[in-house]
Amino acid sequence: MDQDMKNPAFDKVLMTGVFVGIIITVILLFYHVIFLQSTDFPFSTMINVSTLIFSVNLLFLVIGPVYYGFIKLSKYGNILYMIVFILLTIFLVMKTKGVDRTDDDQLNIEFRQLLSGIIIITGIGISFLLPFLFYNKSFRKNVI
């Protein structure tokens, strides 16, 4: 099993990415429903159930091979991957501060909160959950 961790198979990384994508999608759907019910945010046409399901799962389908590239790149690839995606998450959350969806300031604030929450949850899944589950022996044995 240790040899399997040192030389990861592409399919195991890809399947872990897909599995984490499904988990993050479910969490985001709960977050989206709770956010919309608590704020009565009217602009859910851009960020809705369909876009969350398809975009997040496609993103994690791509993130699996990206993670594979990082861990094959060097023996510190896992740490490098986590640092890069933590910094990318922070950068994207900072960039949401400049997003204006409408002329109403309150609706802009709510949209930024919704978008920031989605970015943070996705970033946590990418940065921490994917590497954790990939190296979890029980997950690899029982799920993949």
pLDDT for the residue numbered 141: 74
Q: Full-prediction pTM beyond 0.85?
A: no
DSSP string across 95-117: HGGG---SS-HHHHHHHHHHHHH
- pLDDT tens string 2-15: 445 555 677 788 88
The Cα–Cα gap between 75 and 52 comes to 34
**Is the pLDDT confidence value at 77 over 90?**
no
Across the range 92-114, mean pLDDT stands at 80
pLDDT for the residue numbered 1: 44
- pLDDT tens string 106-129: 777 888 888 888 899 999 998 898
pLDDT for the residue numbered 24: 92
**Is the pLDDT confidence value at 17 over 90?**
no
| Nearest one of 81, 32, 84, 74 to 53, comparing CA atoms | 32
